[in-house]
Amino acid sequence: MSWYRNTVWFVKGLREYTRCGYESASRHFNPDDVEVNVAGRSFLVTGANSGIGKATAKEIARRGGTVHLVCRNKERAEVARGEIVTETSNQNVFLHILDISNPREIWKFAEKFKNEHQLNVLINNAGCMVNNRELTEDGLEKNFATNTLGTFILTTALLPLLEKADDARVITVSSGGMLVQKLNVSDLQSANGTFDGTMVYAQNKRQQVVLTEQWAKAHRNIHFSVMHPGWADTPAVRSSMPDFYEKMKNSLRTEAQGADTVLWLAVSSEATKLPSGLFFQDRQPVRTHLPLASTHSPPEDEEKLMEVLEEFSQKFKSASPG
């Protein structure tokens, strides 16, 4: 019976991830929540040259915010910046070239950024799903380096700047795929067993949920949240999950629909009335575990994740020139 209930709940949840799910949920949205002027506030969006990151950056710029686009590919990023400026008439859109899988470069970027800018909202959107096990030049498994360690280092490095800010927020774009994964701190770089890129990605997304919960406990002056955008039609989905895309392309959300909750968490006053550290879908906090699932972790595993990431972080900080 428990298996049956779990399956029914999960299938229902999958329907909610589609365009129809968004359209149904959006009937209950208050449009005034995001119709706000955020001039004078500074937002940093990683992975902002396409997909959900670009859609989010565009909507923030449309509302007058100062937007820092953090992107890996300079050429694509310059095109994205040009489109955002043209469509929003907001000149306060700045470009930074950074590979989130390179921990040394993240530290260097963050130190420079802290000296030159203010920051109210950090949006950790950059991510990857590499389907074969690849190592970065630092010997790190690429999904882990980008999705987990990169997110950890950038957030950690910018916390002092956020602590000084008014109404500071950190939003991390995760995935409902994390619901099928229990935190595994014994094999963070997926070196053991058969490598399954989809499950590695889901594990990373579970790790992001744990990070958000842990940060929320440790930094009371900052509002942390993590969210699932649903299944959106983005370049990343098309390239990383071609079979899934072909099967689901007529049901996928638009990029703007996928970005809606990110925007809501970033700009609305309603978002920060809810507790810090929650997982959101369609502007509502949702559970982080399926009913009766065996995905809960003991506190010591969550603490171990933070400890290991801090060790990695400090290793690459000390190795960074300057």
The residues annotated with a catalytic role in the active site are: 201
Q: Which residues of 277-311 are buried (b: 16+ CB within 10 A; e: fewer)?
A: bbbbbbbeeeebbbeebeeebeeeebebbbeebee
Tokens of 319: 């190795």
Complete DSSP assignment for 219-252? -TTEEEEEE---SB--HHHHHH-HHHHHHHTTTP
Q: Where would I find the beta strands (DSSP E) of the chain?
A: 42-46, 66-71, 93-97, 121-124, 168-173, 222-227, 278-281, 284-285
